[in-house]
Amino acid sequence: MLLTSWVSGLLAISALADALTDSLETGYSKRLVPPGRGGKKPTKPGQPGKRPDECPPCFNCLLPDFPCQQFASCDQANGRCHCPEGFTGENCAQPVCGGLGELNRPGRMENTTCECSEGWEGINCNLCNQDSACNRFFPKGVNGTCYTGGILVRENHQMCDVTNVKIVEILKGAKPEVTFTCKKEDEEVDGAANGTCSFQFWVDEVESFYCGLDECTFEVNGNNTLYKCEKIKCACVPDQFLCGKDGSVDLTDFLKNTITGPGDFACDINSQNCKFSEPNMNSLISSVFGDKYITLGCKSAECLHVSEIPGYDQPDKGVSTLLVCAGLALTLLFLIVAYALAQSLFKRSNSPLEYLPDADETGKLLHDFVPAKLEFEDISYRERGANEATSKPILDGEIFGSVKPGEVMAIMGGSGAGKTTLLDILARKKKSGKFDGRVFVNGSSDYTDKEFKNMIGFVDQEDCLLPTLTVYETVLTSALLRLPKNMTLLGKKMRVLETLNELGIMHIRDKLIGSETNRGISGGEKRRVSIACELVTSPSILFLDEPTSGLDSFSAFNVVESLVHLARNYNRTVVFTIHQPRSNIVQLFDNLLILCQGRLVYSGAYLECQQFFSEVGYNIPKGFNIADFLIDLTMELSSGSGDSSRAESGAQSPSTSSDDIHTVERTDSQGNLDTTNEWLHYQIHRAEFDESANARKRRQRQKFVKSLGSGVPMPDRNLDELVNLFQTSALAQRIKNGIQEDIDQADLEEAADADDSTAGLLQSRARFFNSRISFLSQLKIIAGRTFKNLYRDPMLLLTHYIMALALGLFSGIVYYQVTDDISGFQNRLGLFFFLLSLFGFSTLTSLNLLFGNDRIIFMRERAKGYYHPAVYYIGKVVFDMVTLRVFPPIILGSILYPLVGLKPDFNAFLVFIATLVLFNLGSSALVFVIGITLGANPGVANLVGILVMLFSMLFAGLFVNHDSVKIWGIDALQFLSVFHYAYEAISVNEVKYLTLIEEKYGLEIEVPGATVLSTFGFNVNAVSRDLFMLTGFLGFMLLAGYIGLHYVLVEVR
């Protein structure tokens, strides 16, 4: 184009060659005046487009006297020129400074110079020379490239020096230059690119004339580029060189009427040497300057995305059959090796010894056994309330009792009598209410909670055992975690066998505990396994809550018989609660404590119970179950005999007779059925209905109790009177005196600092048990138990792996070889969202690991000091997350990636897998937090988990454009979404450097993938940040989960 303008000038000169030569020599005999140093001629009257200075006209390009230079278009609405890049001013005659793409680029004032912005050069600063200068043309985070190869892609800018020797010589030092710009249009002509070009001719950076070239085609042949333009139009800049300046030749009409094309512009890409040829121009140049055509040395530049650079090819996405087969083979190999390893490591790793223990191995443990006499007095307990008036009393404060080593004490009473509450207090369990009273061991209360826990065992009412462990493994786990570290592994195993032998369950040692779906040992055997877990530490006192609950009569008898055998043969102290046992079980008791509504009715030897009640007027029939008699008696007396009498008399009074309150007119005056009267009658007599029902129950129970006396009348007493009778009895006084004597004796022993005192023995045992195994040893045991539970109940594990394998193949087929167009972009985003949704919701299975049995097991084991809470948490996290959350994404991703035809780059593949794994781990950790804090209510936890996942999905970036959310506070919520970070990272990793090519209606549209991502609101430069945020999210949730585990999952009874 530079040549075209130059040719136009030369064609004009060809008519007056001599005159032109003289004009050039004259005009530049003294050198051309540099820009900014020359004066301007006064405006001639009547000159077109000019008005006197005293009355300047308004510019309006719609008028013929105000043309737009550079052949710029005129706005038909306001008469303003739309200037091309590089020019400004009312008529587009003023070159600009700054850099291409800048807003409000400053114009270069007349008689001044300006410098281009960094990264730009050229007369009107349209040529880039740095890649960073092109970043402004692309979305934030997408880097542009300054392409200088010379091949037109979209809009190419060139700056050329005229190199014809004779032309440069005639100008005598003034520098002739051409700026040349070509823009490609969307439509093609005969298979070649179609477009327009423009150029300007400059002398010492002052524009002389300009041309516009239309119907241009662009071709590339080897290292040569060829521009062919069929039409050319040119125009002069008034009062400039070759256009009438200082009396020189004015070629205005010549350029306008003669130079019409066609013209060719050819360049060598390597040397950047170019030539312009046009028939008339070539003749002029040949006759005047001796050259065949105009020669130029050009520099070209164009801002492009890297994927738009000529010669850049999209990576081949061919399906790697080898990679798919390798992924499947590795998956199957992993499953086989993992199963074989699990079998070899754990199947027989804890097999028991085949012989009974040697006494020397457990001698230290038995030596530190402390026979303990348990005594207590003045026990009271109130539930916490806002104040004393609103707190509910559970135990009344007058409860006392005593049980010696080698004896068992049974705590009995009706439902709600306070049996379990009393047992918890005696065992020093953490309670939510307020407790008062004193508990003594061998007459001493000078011991810490930790010392007390080391000498007791506590068996809860419900058996919570891992169903996938054997009897031996269950008891061995308790022994390994609770017995001191200086006791050898062989000694611990022998202690386990000794315990199983004591309880008579040696024959079932290799049987699985079992569950409701997988049958194992019986209920009675489970109860004895629970007892064995406590007995293995050789506790001095064993507490049991309802050990016969849920068992048949035979199993219940066997359990109690085992406890009695344990107490008498091994000198243990056994205390348990029981509800209406059979007569053969009651006869095994040594001591009996009876409660009614939190008040003590009896405490003492079982053999003295019948005598005491006979003395106060309640004769127990011979051969009758004393437990049934006493429970029925206390239930009858619980409401007081006065209340019963009143209720009974009230029930028989005429005003509340059965006929009166149960009879009602059900018809109106016309005889129609009317239920309104029935409803009103019930509302009026509601209290009487309730009172009469209670009275009937009391009469039936009293009739039953009185009938037990074989016709002998029973005393008419209430509960207060019976309690007072026992409190003032000689039996109660004897027990209280015995407690005081033991306290005095313990004080004497402590004063003498005897080594064999209770305090000394407790401290010795505490030192022995304080040497627990290390944190890492605890972790190894819990990890082994967790892994056994996982592989022996493999359905959850296999389901995750089979799901990953099957869905990897299924998704690969559905999205097979996605294309690089808009639909391919949609498929990619859909695939990524499906994968994240799949793994996100699959992590909800972690809630099941923190519900029900496992949750209760942890709280009980923690309360009994099995291990540090962090040990259990790490074991759960490692085996849940590594086995269920790390390998499935790797399996699925390895199969799916080559089938879909995602970016064939190993680093991109690693980012893809890392994103899936981190997202799966982060989601699982989030579910852990929900399960820990809300797991007590599975329904609520599941609902919250689903809602949290849906909330996170909402702000992932597919449903809501991140940039469109402008409400304060709402826009920040996306940064709480784990889906957001994963979805952005995985999408940008795949699409950022992709060029989407869409063909519609014969048009081919190329759009950089980064541009589309930015339109969706993604930060295309945030992959590293997103991975970092996913890692931080995982760490934060793991920390929050442990804090919740430490402070929420605490046994409070």
Which helix (DSSP H) or strand (DSSP E) does residue 400 occupy?
strand 393-403
Beta-bridged to residue 82, according to DSSP, are 73
Buried b (16+ CB within 10 A) or exposed e, 760-794: ebbeebbebbeebbeeeebbebbbbbbbbbbbbee
Q: What share of the chain is helix, strand, coil (3-state, %, to 5)?
A: 50, 15, 35
pLDDT at 413: 87
696 & 713 share domain: yes
785 & 762 share domain: no
Mean pLDDT score of the chain, rounded to an integer?
79
The band of 253, judged by pLDDT with boundaries at 50, 70 and 90, is: confident
Average pLDDT over residues 567-587: 88
The band of 649, judged by pLDDT with boundaries at 50, 70 and 90, is: very low
- Residue 609: pLDDT above 80? yes
Q: Has residue 831 been placed in a domain?
A: yes
Q: Has residue 950 been placed in a domain?
A: yes
526 & 552 share domain: no
CA dist., res. 532 & res. 535, Å (int): 5
53 & 194 share domain: yes
**Weakest mean pLDDT among 326-340, 460-474, 676-690, 765-779:** 676-690
The band of 333, judged by pLDDT with boundaries at 50, 70 and 90, is: confident
475 & 394 share domain: no
Q: Has residue 496 been placed in a domain?
A: yes
pLDDT at 150: 85
- Residue 1037: pLDDT above 70? yes
pLDDT at 190: 62
CA dihedral 657, 663, 669, 670 (to 10 degrees): -160
Summarize pLDDT for 816-852 with one digit per residue, the tens. 989 888 888 889 999 999 999 999 999 888 887 666 6
**Residues 1009 and 993: beta-carbon distance below 8 Å:** yes
383 & 405 share domain: yes
707 & 733 share domain: no
pLDDT at 143: 81
208 & 258 share domain: yes
Evaluate the CA torsion angle 784, 840, 978, 1037 in order and state its sign.
negative
819 & 896 share domain: yes
- Residue 26: pLDDT above 80? no
Q: Has residue 997 been placed in a domain?
A: yes
The count of other CB atoms within 10 Å of the CB of residue 869 is: 16
pLDDT at 658: 40
pLDDT at 297: 92
Residue bearing the bigger pLDDT, 753 or 330: 330
Which span out of 12-16, 82-86, 844-848 was modeled with the highest average pLDDT? 82-86
Tokens of 406: 């080698």
177 & 201 share domain: yes
Residue bearing the bigger pLDDT, 83 or 49: 83
- Residue 260: pLDDT above 90? no
**Weakest mean pLDDT among 8-22, 534-548, 751-765:** 8-22
Tokens of 720: 């207060």
Is 92 buried (19+), middle (13-18) or exposed (0-12) by CB count in 10 A? Answer: buried
> How many percent of the chain have pLDDT more than 90?
17
Domain count within the chain: 5
427 & 479 share domain: no
**Weakest mean pLDDT among 160-174, 202-216, 673-687, 750-764:** 673-687
- The model's pTM is 0.68
Q: Has residue 521 been placed in a domain?
A: yes
The band of 682, judged by pLDDT with boundaries at 50, 70 and 90, is: low
pLDDT at 835: 94
For 900, phi then psi, to 5°, come to -75, -25
For 72, phi then psi, to 5°, come to -70, 155
Residue bearing the bigger pLDDT, 692 or 860: 860
Q: Has residue 81 been placed in a domain?
A: yes
- Residue 58: pLDDT above 80? yes
Average pLDDT over residues 461-480: 90
948 & 906 share domain: yes
**Weakest mean pLDDT among 293-307, 893-907, 1006-1020, 1037-1051:** 1006-1020
- Residue 575: pLDDT above 60? yes
pLDDT at 693: 53
**Residues 824 and 994: beta-carbon distance below 8 Å:** no
Residue of 831, 1037, 819, 756 lying closest to 920 (CA atoms): 1037
Beta-bridged to residue 393, according to DSSP, are 382
Residue bearing the bigger pLDDT, 32 or 986: 986
For 105, phi then psi, to 5°, come to -65, 135
Tokens of 127: 């040529």
Q: Provide the domain limits for residue 490.
A: 354-367+462-538
Average pLDDT over residues 1031-1044: 93
CA dist., res. 567 & res. 573, Å (int): 6
Rg from Cα positions in the chain: 49
- Residue 475: pLDDT above 90? yes
Average pLDDT over residues 378-402: 79
Q: Has residue 316 been placed in a domain?
A: no
The band of 915, judged by pLDDT with boundaries at 50, 70 and 90, is: very high
pLDDT at 21: 47
Residue bearing the bigger pLDDT, 339 or 921: 921
> How many percent of the chain have pLDDT more than 70?
77
DSSP string over 693-713: HHHHHHHHHHHHHHHTTTTPP
Residues in the chain: 1053
- CATH number for position 570: 3.40.50.300
Q: Has residue 445 been placed in a domain?
A: yes
Chosen domain end from 538, 555, 575: 538
